Amino acid sequence: EIKEVSDALGDPIAGDHETNLGVARIDPRKVKGDNNGNGYLDVGDATVIQRLVAGLDPVRSWDVALNDLNASGGLDSGDVVKVLRVVVGVDPQSEGNRRLAKMGGGDDDSDEKVVLSIVKMNAGVVTVQVALDDMTTNVSGASFELQFSNEVLRLQKGSTSSAGGGEFSFSGAVTYNTTGGVVSKESQSIWNASQAGDTPTKQIGTLAMAVTSPEPWKVKDGAVAEVTFEVQEGADINEAVLEIKPVEVTPDGFDNRIISGLSLNLGTGETSELGSGDNVGVEIV
């Protein structure tokens, strides 16, 4: 029964009011840590846990049991790391998961896009910037994967890091807080690099990255990361094509969106959007 109704100004709305009964179904969570209920772990789930740890959202009685991924008895930064490790592929997703995310910024006319650009090229070393542009909302987390030919490119050598997995994780090759960057200093990040190493038959190298923070970044558009590569001796730079697979972003942990992938020829500087067949790994709804 509706006893009274007021408008946005607080004034009562006169007349008779009726209610229509409805039915709602609550599905139990199938994946521990899956706060946004899309069936898999993503940067949005990490953002939600960060907000709980930082005290930005109240911790309810069930939050600990559903998000304590490191079994510490409480919520902490380790639970965020556990989620990010799954996002970049260091640890596997739960079996039977379905990747569900919206394409673009919530409407069919969204111009949201990812931008790949060369910021430095000198003596066989090239630095590429990954940026977001024309975003409809502020972003608190992003994840993406770069693919490159091992015959032409290798990640710049540097000190190894335990932040990621794969064959190598080069902290010297990846920078998040760049000039003109949008990622906040409070963010947690992780990357997972894999290249040929001692396996000559492996032609494609990958670098999966994820970064998230408890609050939206202050600037919507700008650089998310910079990655530095070494061009292999004798290789033709015009054959160096860098691809970024569909990028997943989240403004608040729940409204995750997918931005189409892109390819960049490091020799010519030409870019092109990936075809629908190359935007794999995501079911668009």
Q: What is the pLDDT of residue 200?
A: 53
Q: Is 18 among the domain residues?
A: no
Cβ burial of 66 (10 Å; 0-12, 13-18, 19+) is: middle
Q: What is the pLDDT of residue 266?
A: 92
Same domain as 255, residue 210: yes
Average pLDDT, the chain: 82
Tell me the pLDDT tens digit for each residue of 155-197: 887 644 434 333 334 455 777 666 668 898 888 988 888 876 5
- Give the predicted TM-score (pTM) of the model: 0.78
Q: What is the pLDDT of residue 167?
A: 36
Q: Is 29 among the domain residues?
A: no
The total number of structural domains in the chain stands at 2
Same domain as 72, residue 124: no
Tell me the pLDDT tens digit for each residue of 250-261: 999 999 999 999
Give the pLDDT mean for 11-39.
Answer: 83
Q: Is 6 among the domain residues?
A: no
Q: Is 159 among the domain residues?
A: yes
Same domain as 83, residue 110: no
Tell me, what CATH number does 248's domain have? 2.60.40.680
Same domain as 54, residue 129: no
Same domain as 268, residue 128: yes
Same domain as 186, residue 111: yes
Domain holding 177, by residue range, is 103-284
Q: Is 28 among the domain residues?
A: no
Same domain as 198, residue 71: no
Same domain as 187, residue 238: yes
End-to-end CA distance of the chain: 36
Tell me the pLDDT tens digit for each residue of 231-275: 988 889 888 999 999 999 999 999 999 999 999 999 999 999 886
Q: Tokens 């064959």, residue?
A: 167
- Choose the final residue of a domain: 59, 82, 97: 97
- 16-42 as b/e: b if 16+ CB within 10 A: eeeeeeeeeeeeeeebbbbbbebbbbb
Same domain as 195, residue 72: no
Residue partners of 125: CB distance under 8 A and separation at least 6? 156, 228, 229, 230, 231
- Choose the final residue of a domain: 51, 68, 97: 97
Same domain as 254, residue 127: yes
